[in-house]
Amino acid sequence: MIKQGAKTELDAIIVGAGFAGLYTLHKLRGIGLRVKVLEAGKGVGGTWFWNRYPGARCDVESLEYSYSFSEELQQEWNWPERFSAQPDILRYANHVADRLDLRRDILSERRVVSATFDELNDRWTVCTAGGEAFEARFCIMATGNLSLPRVPDFPGLKNFKGDWYHSGLWPEEGVDFTGRRVGVIGTGSSGVQMIPEIAKQAEHLFVFQRTANFSVPGMNRPMTYEAEQGHKARYAYWREAAKRTPFGIAGHPPPPKTALEDTPEARAEVYERKWGTGGNISFLYAYKDLLTDKAANDTACDFVRAKIRSIVRDPEIARLLMPNDHPIGTKRLCLDNGYFETYNRDNVTLVDVRSDPIIEISEQGLRTKTREYRLDAIAFATGFDAMTGALLDIDIRGAGGLRLADKWAHGPRTYLGLMTAGLPNLFMITGPGSPSVKTNMIASIEQHVDWIADCIAYLRREGIGRIDADAAAEDAWVEHVNQVADATLYPLANSWYVGANIPGKPRVFMPYVAGLDKYRVICDAVAAESYRGFKLMGA
Ligand code: N01
């Protein structure tokens, strides 16, 4: 038990016990550091601890979305489905915590509120909401990219007599919607996943859609013994192959052709095959230029819109569900299990809140400009303050009192997404400016954690007390990240990748989209050149 007022002295503090925090703890322990993880939740698992909404499921296949660093771990764990459901991923995170004996260094229900760098001795002091303080040379932010939930500030929410939930803060005990009139606000990945499941329970489900979203089928299925064993027999091969791909996912050979090289008939066949295979990477890998050429992308958009028209019986509802404001894939392409089919149910109503905006949450439900919907419960699937939200939620102050919030007032600036100049010895895992959310997150996490652990081991070996990103290297990296994004269609969408979902957030494209394979090479070269672009100082 740590006493109020006392400071716990450590070598490294990790904030967050999701997949990034768990692996960082394991790695840093492995190089002999005294480490503690501070976690806001009651348990480990990060995203998969908080996002317990009905239908929550990963859109990367289970055999890929798992740690690769331990052959024993990857061999002994069994995944029940092709795409894992949230409870299975959370079970896996807990298994890893037990298997690697991580829990003794994880302090749960510790929400970090501040992190302050002391320049005199090159150490961070990290404080929790409960008033505890921890001090360490290194601070590693494993705070996640989609971990600060956002509830829009609709007037009247506090007066609502029913229950309301957010996808990212779902009650641990679950929610029974049986016999209730339920409203879901939002049709991103979370909404698309929860809508079919809530529709099966609710007396009536009202979906409040502002922007239609592209979604492709997951074609999820139970894992067969043959599929699992076949993959596991060559796990090392598949993991190595994944490292040489942009997404950190093996088994999707780069497409050889551009979309317009094929005839319309041949294209239709390709898209039909991809649709039947399931998976968003598979679909977006139909042609090599879908994310760089608008005319190519239009062909994929048209195919999905035609699918929606063919699935949804009411032509007016089908029309409303057809996305028309962004190229496919430039917002996270949703993966669903019967999403569009759900709108054929008698107990589901689609409400277009683009033409009839939400005015307020009333005592009895939700009021749009033209009418009131009586609701017993509202599920907000309204997303997150992505990529920077969780970091800026902490009062982080670096050298000379530099506040991260001030430094990033016009958008995040990092070198390699790993560090930001002026905040020495503070590393970010999958930070803005790294491939992160555009990849298999666990693959990106492993790459970052391995790099950070190697870097810290090097600093200790060389007797170096402080590492900081060089401002010029950071400027060059930010420019490079933007140049790469500008050569794609991504910036055309009003997505959370550019912060467009948060009113007032600076519009900056945050992930690095050149691919994890290329990024890995850059990071390795930086390390091999004695951490080029970083300033190493003092003992
Ligand atoms: O959030 P989102 P999410 N009035 O921001 C709507 C990952 N993820 O939680 O587009 C009305 O995508 C908003 O409408 P609009 C994945 O990376 C992965 O669904 O702003 N509507 C939009 O429809 C994903 O991209 C998995 O017009 C409002 C929705 O809310 C990321 O998390 C599963 C509104 C928000 O969509 C975030 O997904 C789940 C308002 N005032 C999540 N404000 C898988 O692995 C917002 N909306 C499969």
CA distance 343 to 349: 7
CA distance 7 to 33: 17
Tens of pLDDT, residue by residue over 402-439, are 999 999 999 999 999 999 999 999 999 999 999 999 99
How far is ligand 1, taken at its centre, from the CA of residue 50, in Å? 15
Residue 142 has pLDDT above 60, yes or no: yes
CA distance 539 to 536: 10
Consecutive H or E run containing 447:
helix 441-462
One-letter amino acid of 403: R
Closest by Cα among 435, 418, 422 to 518: 435
The answer to whether residues 384 and 496 touch, using CB atoms and an 8 Å cutoff, is: yes
Predicted pLDDT at 316: 98
Share the mean pLDDT of the chain. Answer: 97
Tens of pLDDT, residue by residue over 180-194, are 999 999 999 999 999
Torsion sign across C-alpha atoms 211, 212, 214, 216: positive
Task: List the residue whose alpha carbon is closest to atom 10 of ligand 1.
Answer: 211
Two structure tokens written together for 181: 């009139």
CA distance 148 to 47: 10
Task: List the residue whose alpha carbon is closest to atom 5 of ligand 1.
Answer: 383
How far is ligand 1, taken at its centre, from the CA of residue 173, in Å? 23
CA distance 127 to 30: 25
Predicted pLDDT at 100: 98
The label of the residue with tokens 């950070």 reads 452
The label of the residue with tokens 């598979």 reads 282
pTM above 0.95, yes or no: yes
Predicted pLDDT at 6: 76
Closest by Cα among 252, 335, 265 to 299: 265
Q: What is the mean pLDDT of residues 339-355?
A: 98
Predicted pLDDT at 539: 53
Helices 19-30 and 441-462 sit at what angle, rounded to 10 degrees?
30
Predicted pLDDT at 3: 46
CA distance 257 to 469: 40
Helices 235-243 and 516-528 sit at what angle, rounded to 10 degrees?
80
CA angle 79-85-89, nearest 5°?
A: 60
Predicted pLDDT at 5: 63
Nearest atom in ligand 1 to the alpha carbon of residue 60 is 45
Pocket-testing residue among 19, 58, 189, 440, ligand 1, by greatest number of atoms within 8 A of Cβ: 189
For the beta carbon of residue 191, count every other beta carbon within 10 angstroms: 27
Predicted pLDDT at 2: 44
Closest by Cα among 95, 145, 133, 106 to 9: 133
How far is ligand 1, taken at its centre, from the CA of residue 380, in Å? 9
Within 13 Å and on the Cβ side, how many CA atoms surround 472? 3
CA distance 150 to 147: 9
Residue 393 has pLDDT above 90, yes or no: yes
Tens of pLDDT, residue by residue over 275-294, are 999 999 999 999 999 999 99
DSSP letters of 32-98?
Answer: T--EEEE-SSSSS-THHHH---TT-B-SS-TTTSS--S-HHHHHH---SBSS-BHHHHHHHHHHHHH
Q: What is the mean pLDDT of residues 453-458?
A: 98
CA distance 527 to 213: 40
79-107: burial string, b at 16+ Cβ within 10 Å, e else: bebbbbbbebbbbbbbebbeebebbebbb
Confidence of residue 7 (pLDDT cuts 50, 70, 90): confident
One-letter amino acid of 520: R
Residue 111 has pLDDT above 90, yes or no: yes
- For the CA atoms of 199, 204, 205, 206, the dihedral, rounded to the nearest 10 degrees, stands at 160
One-letter amino acid of 241: A
**Is any atom of ligand 1 closer than 6 Å to the C-beta of 337?**
no
Tens of pLDDT, residue by residue over 463-472, are 999 999 999 9
Q: What is the mean pLDDT of residues 447-465?
A: 97
Helices 441-462 and 516-528 sit at what angle, rounded to 10 degrees?
0
- Percentage of residues in the chain with pLDDT exceeding 90? 98
Tens of pLDDT, residue by residue over 310-333, are 999 999 999 999 999 999 999 999
What is residue 11's three-state secondary structure? strand
Pocket-testing residue among 354, 382, 430, 496, ligand 1, by greatest number of atoms within 8 A of Cβ: 382
- For the CA atoms of 52, 55, 58, 61, the dihedral, rounded to the nearest 10 degrees, stands at 140
CA distance 27 to 7: 24
How far is ligand 1, taken at its centre, from the CA of residue 460, in Å? 42
Q: What is the mean pLDDT of residues 494-520?
A: 96
Task: List the residue whose alpha carbon is closest to atom 17 of ligand 1.
Answer: 332
Predicted pLDDT at 1: 38
Residue 538 has pLDDT above 90, yes or no: no
For the beta carbon of residue 198, count every other beta carbon within 10 angstroms: 25
The answer to whether residues 144 and 19 touch, using CB atoms and an 8 Å cutoff, is: no
